[in-house]
Amino acid sequence: MAVPGFTVGAFILLLYLSSVANYPNGKVTKSCHGMVPEHGHTPRTDPIHNISVSQMTFTSGDQIEVTLSGPEFKGFLLEARDAEALSGPPIGSFTLIDSQMSQVLTCEDIQGSAVSHTNPHKKTELKVYWNAPNSAPSHIQFLVTVVEKYKTYWVKIPGPVISQPNALPFTTPEGTLAPLSTLPPVSHLTKSFSASDCGNKKFCVRSPLNCDPEKDHACVFLSFTRDDQSVMVEMSGPSKGYLSFAFSHDQWMGDDDAYVCIHEGQTVNIQPSHLTGRSHPVMDSRDTLEDMAWRLEDDVMQCSFRRNITLPGVKNRFDLNTSYYIFLADGAADDGRIYKHSQQPLITYEKHDVTDYPKNIGGSRSLLLLKAHGALMFVAWMTTVSIGVIIARFFKPVWSKALFGESAWFQVHRMLMFITSVLTCLAFILPFIYRGGWSWRAGYHPSLGCIVMILAVLQPLLAAFRPPLHNQRRQMFNWTHWGMGTAARIIAVATMFLGMDLPGLTLPSPWKTYAMTGFVAWHVGTEIILEIHAYRLSRKVEILDDARIQIFQSFTEAEAEGHAFKKAVLAIYVCGNVTFLIIFLSAINHL
């Protein structure tokens, strides 16, 4: 599969649909030949729309007005074909009358040989001109596919047959209309699926691991049971829209064998499909599925079907006796239309052959590289940098003794900031390795992350060239160092807020926002307490000329008291900081 610019993230069922071939803008060249929308539903057989023409005969170069009319519709695809070979290519070309409502398409390499809609707005009439070519067949018939709504459409509605003046009378060829395929029967499940045979008779994928759909409504469950040359598939999970799973050669979306269970009214439509890149799945024929059944109860959707392990000659269906990554996704659906999955798909950690020995496995909604990226950034910008800043700001007089040639506070500060820079650099490269480049679909998060990365590198470089203590440029350095560091911390927090909502690392809502807000409040509150304490200490100790010894003793006692308070506050702050960190790291680990 081709590596996209978006995440695992997306594995299946994207983009909005509302018309022919799922294209509201009418760019439906994929449907030119069969004129069948890729909606995965059975077309209606009782056409209610009509095609009329301005004349019944034509010669080369004639321009004939063609009118499509009827009850309100959203999309259409109109072609002219040889009436004696309707499966052949389109004939002639069209000229638009209203370019706001219609557009010409290039079908079968013939420019302007078809007309479609330009938007999903409702229409009741559409007029165009058909231009007769020089080498036209004797008889031409107009065909149109009309979409009223996503699952209500008519395919190849026959229009009038127009003929050249000297042509023999037209007779309808036998067998022109193909019989509608009979859909496999679908039954209703009478009881919930059970996980009791997982690892024994069933190959199961579950989240949380070891959950049972019979007892836990939040259980996401997928099982495969081999029966000779076929496999019985069961899928269950909380969803009011759709559930889906797919077999993939890698952990990226595209060129996958997918299966979708869509909630439609009071029923569930079970549909095989395939994916080509980061686009909406193309619905395929259900002829390959047997024993289809479904169940809806307590906002839990369950569906099952049987398919053969191998399907020779069937396009887009994978052989099941091969190892694949398995994706599980869910999302919203409306009137049979499916939308982008509501959360990152669950993906197995490695490839599996579902026809091999029964197993009981789990998966993750975030890949290891993205988990590591998030964890490293949390450690760096929640803990090490925060503690390092507080020590530099408030603990200079507390830890002023020399340690390896420098003040102890400075050594601790420098070590923590060095760790922050190293962790940031390591975390920074991981998304690029994962994506294979820049992620254009991640909003402002990557851009802000780059700014944080630049500041994290500049800060230690700037510190390496700091002027001596009493140098006239030292004050400028201090303000620059403080300003860059403060900006980096503020941008880093904003970047973490944005990153928590990205599909590759979607932490549970709404507690993630509360936890991050709590961390910010915890840190700011600690700084305020230490600032107030420092101010009160400076007011308490005043050097008076007439009592130097007494004042010196008071200063020493106050200083010792102030140091003890600062150490207590730091200890409490570190405990709280680490608690917030553990909360986020634990959440990442459970993705």
Split at pLDDT 50, 70, 90, the class of 555 is: very low
Question: In whole angstroms, what is the distance from residue 464 CA to residue 460 CA?
Answer: 6
How far apart (Å, rounded) are the C-alpha atoms in residues 224 and 204?
Answer: 7
DSSP 74-92: SEEEEEEEETT-TTS-B-S
Find the mean pLDDT for residues 204-211.
91
Cα three-residue angle 494-500-502, rounded to 5 degrees: 110
Cα-to-chain-centroid distance, residue 351? 21
Tokens of 309: 């392990």
Q: Is 90 exceeded by the pLDDT of residue 411?
A: yes
What angle, rounded to 10 degrees, do the helices at 474-499 and 445-464 form? 150
What pLDDT, in 10s, does the model give residues 281-321?
888 888 899 999 999 988 899 999 999 999 998 988 999 99
DSSP characters for 140-184?
EEEEEEEEEETTEEEEEEEEEEEE-TTPPPP-PPTT-SPPPPPPP
Q: Which two tokens stand for residue 153?
A: 């459409």
The overall average pLDDT reported for the chain is 85
Q: Tokens standing for 114? A: 């078809």
Quick: pLDDT tens for 48-78. Answer: 999 999 999 999 999 999 999 999 999 999 9
Location of structure tokens 């403060």: 486
Q: What does the pLDDT read at residue 280?
A: 76
**DSSP 3-state helix, strand, coil percentages of the chain (rounded to 5)?**
30, 30, 40
User: Which amino acid does the sequence have at 283?
Assistant: M
What residue type is assigned to position 264 of the chain?
A: E
pLDDT digits (tens, 9 = 90+) for 189-205: 889 999 999 999 999 99
In the structure encoding, which two tokens stand for residue 101, read together? 């409502």
- Give me the phi and psi of 144, to 5 degrees please: -140, 140
State how far the Cα of 238 lies from the Cα of 133, in Å rounded to an integer: 57
Interval 144-173: pLDDT, tens: 999 998 878 899 999 999 999 988 888 765
Q: Which helix (H) or strand (E) holds 371?
A: helix 368-378
Strand, coil or helix: what is 98? coil
| The two structure tokens encoding residue 278 | 């980061």
pLDDT value, residue 576: 96
Q: Give dist(CA 197, CA 220) in Å, integer.
A: 16
Q: Whole-structure pTM over 0.85, yes or no?
A: no
CA distance 452 to 457: 9
Q: What pLDDT is recorded for position 73?
A: 93
Spatial contact of 207 and 186, defined as CB atoms under 8 Å apart = no
Look at the chain and count its residues.
591
pLDDT score for 33: 83
CB 342 within 8 A of CB 16: no
Cα separation values, 41 from 38, 183, 257, 461, Å: 8, 10, 18, 63
pLDDT beyond 80 at 97: yes
Distances (CA, A) of 71 to 99, 114, 115, 122, 356: 21, 22, 19, 9, 54
- pLDDT per position as a tens digit, 119-153: 989 999 999 999 999 989 999 999 999 999 887 88
Q: Worst-scoring range by mean pLDDT, 180-189, 237-246, 433-442?
A: 180-189
Question: Which pLDDT score, from 0 to 100, does residue 286 have?
Answer: 84
Q: How far is CA 556 from CA 161, 225, 541, 560, in A?
A: 108, 78, 9, 6
Please answer whether residues 136 and 85 qualify as being in contact, where contact means their C-beta atoms are separated by less than 8 angstroms.
no
Structure tokens at 40: 């995965």
Structure tokens at 290: 């047997």
Predicted pLDDT of residue 590:
77
Between CA 166 and CA 476 the distance in angstroms is 96
pLDDT of residue 504: 76
Nearest to 431 by CA among 490, 504, 348, 538: 504
Structure tokens at 301: 């959707």
